[in-house]
Amino acid sequence: MSDHDQIPAAIAERMARSAQGRALGLELVRASPELVLKVPYKPELVGDPDSGVIAGGVVTTLLDFACGWATALALKEPTSIATLDLRIDYMRPSRPALESSMKAAWAAATGSSGSSS
C-alpha cells in the first residue's frame, strides 16, 4: 500500500484528534474521486433557534477542513495546510434538521488555488 493510499485513514485520524472536528462530529465520507466531508445535524450547532438552521461558522469550518484535506490529497501526502484567505458567499441558508456535507477537489495540482462545491 502506497503512502497516498493511506491518506484517507490519516485524514480520519487527524480529524478525530481535532477538538473542533470532534465537537462538530466531522466525518470523512470518501476521499476519491473527490473529498467529501459531512457534519451531522445537532441542535447544539444551530445558529438561529427560530429557523433551526445550522450556524454559518459550522459551514465555514466544514469548508476549511474540506479544502485543506483536498489540498493534502493533491499533494500526495498528509500534511498540515494553512488557510491564507477564505471567502464565502452564502447563496441560501441550509435546511433545518439535515446534515451538511462538502465536496472539495483541486482544479489543478500545479496551480495555487483549489475549488470546492
Q: Which residues pair with 27 in a beta bridge?
A: 38
Enclosing domain of residue 109: 4-116
**Residues 21 and 102: beta-carbon distance below 8 Å:** no
pLDDT digits (tens, 9 = 90+) for 26-85: 999 998 888 999 999 999 999 989 989 899 899 899 999 998 888 888 886 666 778 888
2: pLDDT confidence band, cut at 50, 70 and 90? low
CATH number where 38 lies: 3.10.129.10
Number of domains in the chain: 1
pLDDT digits (tens, 9 = 90+) for 90-99: 777 778 888 8
**Residues 72 and 5: beta-carbon distance below 8 Å:** no
